[in-house]
Chain A
Amino acid sequence: MRSPRSLVGGSPASQYTVDFDGRALPAQEGQSIAAVLWSAGILAWRTTRDGGAPRGAFCGIGSCYDCLVTVNGRPNQRACLVPAQEGDTVTTQEGTGHAELAV
């Protein structure tokens, strides 16, 4: 079956696992956190502040902030931009914390 990887002839330099809410997900070196989650069929990793609705990546390029996630204890990381690293612990983010940022 055709896949994105077969299309570009990809052979990742290394593969490792990333922990997502206690689940070990396979990651390929160079993928963003959002890409690792999409590869595992996971489309939502945040719930909204008011409605508690599930959200994940939408714009894919860092402009919508819908993909916010907690990475290694740091909240509000844009999963579509942050590269997944070996040993990362990713946790679902509930609500959005505006705490540290000005906008």
Chain B
Amino acid sequence: MPSSPSDRPAADPADPAGPAAAADLAVVGAGPAGLAAAVTAAGLGLRVTVLDTGERPGGQFYRHPAPGLGAARPEALHHAWPDFATREAALRAHVSAGRITYLPGHHVWTVVARQTAWTLHAVAGDEGAAATVTARAVLLATGAYERQLPFPGWTLPGVVGAGGAQAMLKAGLVLPGRRIVVAGSGPLLLAVAGSLAAAGASVPAVVEASAYTAYAGKAAALLRNPAKLAEGATYGGALLRHRIRLLTRHAVTEAHGTDRVEAVTVARLDRDWRPLPGTARRIPCDALAVGHGLVPQLELATGLGCATRRSPDGTVALDLAADGRTSVPGVWSAGETGGIGGAGLAITEGEIAAHAIAGRSVPTALTRRRSRLRAFADAMAAAHRPGPRWTGWLRDDAVVCRCEEVPAGRIREAAEDLGARDARTVKLLTRAGMGWCQGRMCGPAVAALAGGSAASTDAAPDRRPLSCPVPLRHLAGLPADLPAEHSAELPGADG
């Protein structure tokens, strides 16, 4: 509810940027979490600035075509579209009323403490112009990207991320091929297969490495989430309708082709995800959409020193209080940064954080909903956690680091012969993870090969001092008091 201006935190005269320039809250990310937080906070009387890399709000889940594509039914590729549409309308209204400053096309690359406020540095537009925003509180809602476990042939054109195929379909209305195998692990695969098929692709199989029976022990979390069960049934129904085979406890262990993918080998896995000899078979296809769940995108948060925790799926997420507080006072977070959990949870957490930042009590309905959805998310994450022996399908000649073209053999050599025990040492010895993507694609694999044990994909949070490539001239222009090593001494995920 809009409140009187007197409810706003008083402007701080000591603020170097001046009270007019400093927002009450800067939200990084306009996905479900950031968008919900921004409109809720603005509704509670805060002046909010939203920065988002994307050109339109919505993040990964509510990614949708540009207006120029004239989609009459954008909701056809989404469920719960009204959840987004009402919040997007609220965003527009707050922007017109001057309560929200919305900055699309802005990639925040670092956040710096400035006395009583925070300064966010961003690159904007395709010219990479420098932009700064000052705010008293920061909410990081930067979401996640896909976890990839490499296999021979995964660099062939036509092998694309499962979420990536979904993103390209939702935004550009395009498919990577006509006959698309969907593989990897996690519930996103079902959504992706359903969308691809609805958009006209044939999907010969969904290849899921986990066994869905892993959910069996989690009946309590499932039963508390009837909506999630219904969602699962919807996906299941879509698979049946489009005659898509679901192969559980199977993985794509190789993609074949020269200039593009022409077929994949699918093998049965044992409990530890080791491919079982003699079970391999080929499925012809002209594209493969593959992904093993999502990885929270944390570089801004870890750069600020926010504490992390290990999620049940082996990824590192922020360690958050129930109201979205990070361990750094004045920095909040919501959505997938706190652990993968879906758009509904992200929206709920955004609203909770907005209440807390505005100094209001958080409605009980929201906190209940959050704990219910988090319990479900954790159960699901545990069920799809990569098995320790997945590296069994990673031949020595298979590329692991796509950017620097480092094969698995070189990483194994660094670990076994040269004694590299962690991803960072491997990186120094082999250049794996040193390229453009800064290890976002190969990080889990390098960690698994370096650890060589059941530690599997468990990695300390990757340290990336900058969250995106930044023109050198912007770095040179940073104030001299920027802490030299603000990514140093991160609280490790294991404490």
A and B together in one complex: yes
Q: Which chain B positions have C-beta within 8 A of A3?
A: 173, 199-200
Residue B231 at the A interface, CB < 8 A?
Answer: no
Tally of A-B Cβ pairs under 8 angstroms: 181
A3 → B minimal CB distance (Å)? 5
- Interface membership of chain B positions 173-204, coded 1 if the CB is closer than 8 angstroms to chain A and 0 otherwise: 11110000000000000000000001110000
- Interface membership of chain B positions 250-277, coded 1 if the CB is closer than 8 angstroms to chain A and 0 otherwise: 0000000001100000000000000000
Are the CB atoms of A35 and B155 closer together than 8 Å?
no
Q: Which chain B positions have C-beta within 8 A of A54?
A: 157, 259-260
Most B CB contacts (10 A, CB to CB) among A7, A49, A80 go to: A7
Known: A8-B65, A35-B173. 4 other contacts (CB 8 A): A4-B174, A4-B200, A13-B70, A64-B437
Q: Which chain B positions have C-beta within 8 A of A35?
A: 168, 171-174
B71 → A minimal CB distance (Å)? 4
Interface residues of A in 1-44 (CB under 8 A from B): 1-14, 28-32, 34-35, 38-39, 43-44
Most B CB contacts (10 A, CB to CB) among A1, A28, A61, A62 go to: A61
A51 to B398, CA, bound (A): 13
A53 to B404, CA, bound (A): 12
Are the CB atoms of B475 and A31 closer together than 8 Å?
no
Are the CB atoms of A56 and B68 closer together than 8 Å?
no
Chain B residue at minimum C-beta to C-beta distance from A49: B405
Q: Which chain A positions have C-beta within 8 A of B70?
A: 10-13
B257 → A minimal CB distance (Å)? 10
- Interface membership of chain B positions 42-72, coded 1 if the CB is closer than 8 angstroms to chain A and 0 otherwise: 0000000000010100001000011111111
Are the CB atoms of A7 and B259 closer together than 8 Å?
no
Are the CB atoms of B441 and A64 closer together than 8 Å?
yes
B275 → A minimal CB distance (Å)? 23
Residues of A bordering B, CB below 8 Å: 1-14, 28-32, 34-35, 38-39, 43-44, 48-51, 53-66, 68, 77, 80, 82-83, 96, 100-103
Write 18 A-B pairs (CB below 8 A) sorted by A numbering. A4-B174, A5-B173, A7-B77, A13-B70, A14-B68, A35-B171, A44-B260, A54-B259, A60-B165, A65-B435, A66-B402, A83-B55, A96-B403, A96-B436, A100-B471, A101-B471, A103-B468, A103-B469
Residue B158 at the A interface, CB < 8 A?
Answer: yes
Given that A14-B68, A101-B472 are known contacts, is A61 also in contact with B167, CB under 8 Å in the complex?
yes
The 8 Å CB contact of B163, one of A60, A83, A101, is A60
- Interface membership of chain B positions 136-169, coded 1 if the CB is closer than 8 angstroms to chain A and 0 otherwise: 0000000001100000000101111101111111
Are the CB atoms of A102 and B175 closer together than 8 Å?
no
B47 → A minimal CB distance (Å)? 29
**Size category, B interface:** 35 or more
Are the CB atoms of B159 and A58 closer together than 8 Å?
yes
Q: Which chain A positions have C-beta within 8 A of B67?
A: 13, 30
Are the CB atoms of B66 and A59 closer together than 8 Å?
no
A55 to B12, CA, bound (A): 51
Are the CB atoms of A58 and B402 closer together than 8 Å?
yes
The 8 Å CB contact of B69, one of A2, A7, A28, is A28
Residue B463 at the A interface, CB < 8 A?
Answer: no
Q: Which chain A positions have C-beta within 8 A of B260?
A: 43-44, 54
Chain B residue at minimum C-beta to C-beta distance from A62: B53
Are the CB atoms of A32 and B171 closer together than 8 Å?
yes
Given that A4-B199, A34-B172 are known contacts, is A48 also in contact with B405, CB under 8 Å in the complex?
yes
Given that A8-B76, A35-B174, A63-B437 are known contacts, is A58 also in contact with B160, CB under 8 Å in the complex?
yes
Q: Which chain A positions have C-beta within 8 A of B246?
A: none
Are the CB atoms of B60 and A61 closer together than 8 Å?
yes
Chain B residue at minimum C-beta to C-beta distance from A44: B157
Q: Which chain B positions have C-beta within 8 A of A66?
A: 402-403, 437
